[in-house]
Chains A and B, each alone.
Chain A
Amino acid sequence: MMEQDTRNRLAALLRAAATQTVPEKDFWKQFEKLVNPVGEPVAGLAYESAVHYWGNFHEKNLFLIRVKPDRHQLLQGQNELNLIADGLDDDWPVSELEHKLKDI
């Protein structure tokens, strides 16, 4: 079970990612120090959303030219990261968080 301090720090990190106020490399360094995505279900959900969210910034088109992130996918990622942060701060059960993530 994740300590409340860890939960709050992870929540803050996810919100920082969503607002792009933390560089990706720093995000992953801090993420790995805080949690293990395999051992903790909420961390696994955060990992999944973060992988796809940051992936938006590495997209290319069919000609392999870098392109701007798709705005709908970016918003989707921000919504997911913020929702997980809310769940961490308010200590939602994993099942509740999973249900809400499936809905957005």
Chain B
Amino acid sequence: MGVADATVLPVANAVEHPVATVEGIANAVEHPAEAAKNIVDGAVSTVKAAANGDPRALGQVVGTVAAAAYAGENVRPRLYENVGGGGVNFLNTPTTGSRIGLDVHAIPEAGGGVRPHIDITIKKPGIPSGPGSNLVNIKHWPW
């Protein structure tokens, strides 16, 4: 349960209660010092509880570390240094070999113009590449 607290549940909660989420963010922007203090206090409390063997807190620590490790490994900005443009790729999500890319570069559909677009390739579980590996393959949306 603690792992979900740190990973899935915040996203689910933001989707379920979008107004509350936006209000929370706005409040944090208005009072950044207070927000930072609350974050640090929360983190310290959680780590202390985990150190004392609280299983929920342990799960939260594990979940936070896992989320940070995932983002560090799979969220990748890149530049197309020799042709111009760049983007951010979310790799291996939701399956190994998948790529969700927010990209900007020249595309033939726009007559060679540089256009922002989205690429989504979702691979079948256990088949990260090769013929028949794609569940979804969208290039240059919305062009």
Contacts and interface: CB of A to CB of B under 8 A. Distances in A.
A91 interface: no
Interface of A: 24-25, 28, 37-38, 41, 44, 47-48, 51-52, 54-56, 58-64, 67, 70, 72-73, 75-76, 79, 100, 102-104
Given A44-B108, A63-B72, A70 B83 contact: no
Given A58-B79, A59-B76, A72-B92, A103 B132 contact: yes
A100 B134 CA distance: 11
Given A48-B108, A58-B79, A104 B129 contact: yes
Contacts of B139: 48
Interface residues of B, number: 38
Q: Please report whether the interface of chain B is mostly helix, strand, loop or mixed according to DSSP.
A: mixed
B24 interface: no
A51 B133 CA distance: 21
A25 B82 contact: yes
Minimum-distance CB pairs A-B, first 7:
A44-B108, A38-B112, A72-B97, A59-B76, A59-B78, A72-B128, A55-B78
A82 B112 CA distance: 23
Given A37-B112, A48-B108, A72-B92, A60 B137 contact: no
